[in-house]
Homo-oligomer: A and B are copies of this chain.
């Protein structure tokens, strides 16, 4: 692989330019900003490398599908996404979120870690292999969707239409991060998601708060409703919420024990004294990986500007995400949430569902994991740490597990990449190493069977 690695090093600037170009193109699915332009850009990249490309339209944003022929029928697919999270709060960015500025060896941009860096690294790996070897050793499929950050809402339509396009012997999932000690993480599953907005309404207009003595306040009602959903011990109080959570298996416990999680580094970076509930060690890792969550992602009611305004709000809204673990079912959870609110006297609170995704897991031992781990050890000079499941979410159940395809996630981010947050970044060196790693996986996986 030395010829490939040398090629990647020689073309470092070109690959960084590709990455900057796509990062400078906003693609915020939640706000329908720049989506068409970005899909067209991905299509162009794939075509320039000689891929057979389809822009597959759905009721939402299109999926870009690219196929590269290989020396064998063995197939490796890549799942990535071209959409990004909204960039606010803008004032906390040190450079404009779509400037893709490089400072001290890091490139800063909304989407650079999640997920454009990984997408471009995979394109670059294919480019390097094709240029050096003339041909790929196996068939490669790119599946690049535009709705990951809004819950892959219309991806089931794509799967329905294109089930045959998806078949593969393994799928490299979209993301991966280096730990604080520089060790890459390889993960083998994703949490599911039930993302909802709860809306509580009061009078038909905001009122002078003197009226609060006798007119119901939707912000208070929402606070009371929320306080019934989760208690300060972090237990979700919805009846049956934990029924389908699998108990920790023995082999999972072993992997969890081996999994490296640098607590001190994380706490220091975030200016925190401790983790939730003072957790540490195995219980901390178990909670991170194997426990579901219920998170307030946003709360809005009344006057939130400068100074004091004495107003009784007409409405209160909260955005909640539940991250789910096997074998919780998002459709079941949303029903239980509705029942819970009804039973606690909050039948007036509306639920808007945004994202319903199943959790997914790949078995610990499989050929793709072996390829990923072996090549990572070679490229990074250190054995990666295995996460049996990622605390994040994605449509892995839909694209892989339900089709019997093992999915393994690895990528170019690092523990402080600030995904979904201001100053999202990756290290340029990690990006270059990531390209080499993908090329090595393609090579290694073509030889396994």
Spell out A's residues near B (CB within 8 Å).
29-31, 85-86, 88-89, 92, 114, 149-151, 191, 193, 195, 197, 202-217, 219-221, 223-224, 226-227, 230-232, 270-272, 275-276, 279, 284, 287-288, 291, 293, 295-313, 316-317, 319, 321, 323, 345, 354-355, 390-393, 418-423
A298: which of B30, B232, B301 is its contact (CB, 8 Å)? Answer: B301
A303: which of B216, B221, B319 is its contact (CB, 8 Å)? Answer: B319
In the bound complex, how far is the Cα of B277 from the Cα of A345, in angstroms? 13
Query: Are B323 and A319 in contact, CB atoms less than 8 angstroms apart?
Result: no
Collect the chain B residues with CB atoms within 8 Å of residue A288's CB: 213-214
Instruction: Select from chain B the residue with minimum beta-carbon distance to A216.
Output: B276
Collect the chain B residues with CB atoms within 8 Å of residue A301's CB: 296, 298-299
In the complex, how many angstroms separate the beta carbon of A207 from the nearest chain B beta carbon? 6
Query: Are B297 and A310 in contact, CB atoms less than 8 angstroms apart?
Result: yes
Query: Are B223 and A296 in contact, CB atoms less than 8 angstroms apart?
Result: yes
Query: Are B309 and A319 in contact, CB atoms less than 8 angstroms apart?
Result: yes
Query: Are A209 and B295 in contact, CB atoms less than 8 angstroms apart?
Result: yes
A220: which of B203, B271, B296, B391 is its contact (CB, 8 Å)? Answer: B296
Instruction: Select from chain B the residue with minimum beta-carbon distance to A220.
Output: B296
16 contacts between A and B (CB under 8 A): A31-B305, A31-B306, A31-B307, A85-B311, A195-B310, A203-B270, A204-B270, A207-B420, A210-B390, A213-B287, A214-B287, A219-B296, A227-B227, A296-B302, A299-B316, A302-B319
Instruction: Rank and list the top 6 A-B pairs by shortest CB-CB distance, nearest first.
Output: A30-B307, A227-B227, A300-B304, A298-B302, A219-B296, A203-B270
In the complex, how many angstroms separate the beta carbon of A87 from the nearest chain B beta carbon? 10
Query: Are B31 and A276 in contact, CB atoms less than 8 angstroms apart?
Result: no
In the bound complex, how far is the Cα of B219 from the Cα of A149, in angstroms? 22
In the complex, how many angstroms separate the beta carbon of A238 from the nearest chain B beta carbon? 15
In the bound complex, how far is the Cα of B232 from the Cα of A340, in angstroms? 17
Query: Are B302 and A310 in contact, CB atoms less than 8 angstroms apart?
Result: no
Query: Are B85 and A309 in contact, CB atoms less than 8 angstroms apart?
Result: yes
Collect the chain B residues with CB atoms within 8 Å of residue A216's CB: 272, 275-276
In the bound complex, how far is the Cα of B217 from the Cα of A30, in angstroms? 23
Collect the chain B residues with CB atoms within 8 Å of residue A193's CB: 310
In the bound complex, how far is the Cα of B304 from the Cα of A266, in angstroms? 26
In the bound complex, how far is the Cα of B305 from the Cα of A272, in angstroms? 27
A300: which of B85, B215, B293, B299 is its contact (CB, 8 Å)? Answer: B299
Query: Are A271 and B204 in contact, CB atoms less than 8 angstroms apart?
Result: yes
A311: which of B204, B302, B420 is its contact (CB, 8 Å)? Answer: B420
Instruction: Select from chain B the residue with minimum beta-carbon distance to A211.
Output: B391
In the bound complex, how far is the Cα of B212 from the Cα of A293, in angstroms? 7
Whether A151 contacts B393 in the complex (CB less than 8 A), given A213-B288, A298-B313, comes out as no
Collect the chain B residues with CB atoms within 8 Å of residue A197's CB: 308
In the complex, how many angstroms separate the beta carbon of A115 from the nearest chain B beta carbon? 12
In the complex, how many angstroms separate the beta carbon of A149 from the nearest chain B beta carbon? 8
Query: Are B213 and A420 in contact, CB atoms less than 8 angstroms apart?
Result: no
In the bound complex, how far is the Cα of B263 from the Cα of A211, in angstroms? 13
Instruction: Select from chain B the residue with minimum beta-carbon distance to A203.
Output: B270
Collect the chain B residues with CB atoms within 8 Å of residue A204's CB: 270-271
Collect the chain B residues with CB atoms within 8 Å of residue A296's CB: 217, 219-220, 223, 301-302, 313, 316
Collect the chain B residues with CB atoms within 8 Å of residue A308's CB: 30, 149-151, 195, 197, 297, 319, 321, 354-355
A276: which of B213, B276, B307 is its contact (CB, 8 Å)? Answer: B213
Whether A209 contacts B30 in the complex (CB less than 8 A), given A227-B227, A301-B298, A308-B150, comes out as no
A420: which of B151, B208, B272 is its contact (CB, 8 Å)? Answer: B208
